[in-house]
Structures are given as structure tokens and as C-alpha cells.
Amino acid sequence: MPETWQEKVRWSSHLWGTKEGNLSLTGEKLVLSSDDGEVFSLSPSEWPKIVWPRYGFGANMTIHANNRRYYVTFFARGSSLMEWRDAIHRGVEWEARLRPGYAPSKAAALLVRGFVDIMKILWVLMMLLGALILLVDEQAAWYDRIFASLLMLYAVGSGLMWLKPSWFGEKRGSKAF
């Protein structure tokens, strides 16, 4: 029995309004289906019509089928930043299945991880700045100063946990792909 791969995706044939669908690869057929039924079915000879644009970092693909262009993405609606990495990972896995000999680049994963790291740094800096403003404000009440002190402790603690997680029993980093 042939191996089957299935994935929940969002797709569109327009510039707006994505729909939920199911992308499946069974044996030698790539099928996109939705609640309304099968959208398209491609044989391996038609797989070169699949384009993986670089701006999607591997999580998006454009498929030409039935004289239409379909935009398929592995991002869920309302994805958080942490879910981006998973969507990119799933997209790269599908690209490897559909393009024999394809060796995925780790650039997309490193880019997303770098973006997440920058956001963490900015979050810690914003907390420190807010706490510092409250501490130096001469008109701040005593409870504002206590709150600012606790905020500073939390910011420094979360920054240390991010920089040196081994102190807190965690391993730094994760596997890219």
C-alpha cells in the first residue's frame, strides 16, 4: 500500500479570501480537496508546475492546475510567531517530497529563529525601559516603584533565561530542520 501524506492547508485561487483544505499525496497523486470536493489532482508529470516562492520561506507554494493558479500555504489563519517555524518546517518537508533530490536550506529556519530572538531582546528592553521610567519618575507612587522593581527583575530574569537557559535546567536552541 502506498504511503499517504496529508496536511491541513489554506488555499486560494484569488488574491484574497483563503479557504481551508486538505493537501494529500497518495502514491503518485497530489490532491487538494476542500469542503466542496476535490479542487485539483496532479500526477508527477505536472509537479514541475509547482513553484515555491522564496518570499514564503518554504511555507507557501503556487500550483498551476486546471488553467488556474492556486496559492497554497501551510500557515494557519492567525498564526503566531512561534507557529511560523512549524509551518515553514512542514512546507520544506512537502517540497522535499515533491522535488526528488531537493536538499532543504536551513536559511528560512535561521531567519525565523533570528526574528524570534530579536523580538525577545526587544521585549526585554521594552520592559527594562518601562521600569526605568517608573523608577526615575519623581511623582510615581510607592506601588508604582515596587511594580517597576518587580518588572525589572522579571525582565532581567527572562533575559538571563534566554541567554543562559542551562542555569534554569533547559537546553539552548532547537533543531532547525
Cβ–Cβ under 8 Å, residues 32 and 63: yes
Question: Which pLDDT score is estimated for 174?
Answer: 44
Per-10-residue mean pLDDT of the chain, 177 residues long, equals 80 81 87 88 81 74 86 80 75 80 66 70 80 80 82 76 57 44
Question: Which pLDDT score is estimated for 175?
Answer: 41
Angle between helices 81-98 and 107-136 (to 10 degrees): 180
Question: Which pLDDT score is estimated for 112?
Answer: 64
pTM equals 0.58
Question: Which pLDDT score is estimated for 162?
Answer: 63
Find the angle CA(67)-CA(71)-CA(73) to the nearest 5 degrees.
150
Alpha carbon distance 65, 121 (integer Å)? 44
Output the CATH code of domain 4-98.
2.30.29
Question: Which pLDDT score is estimated for 137?
Answer: 81
Question: Which pLDDT score is estimated for 113?
Answer: 67
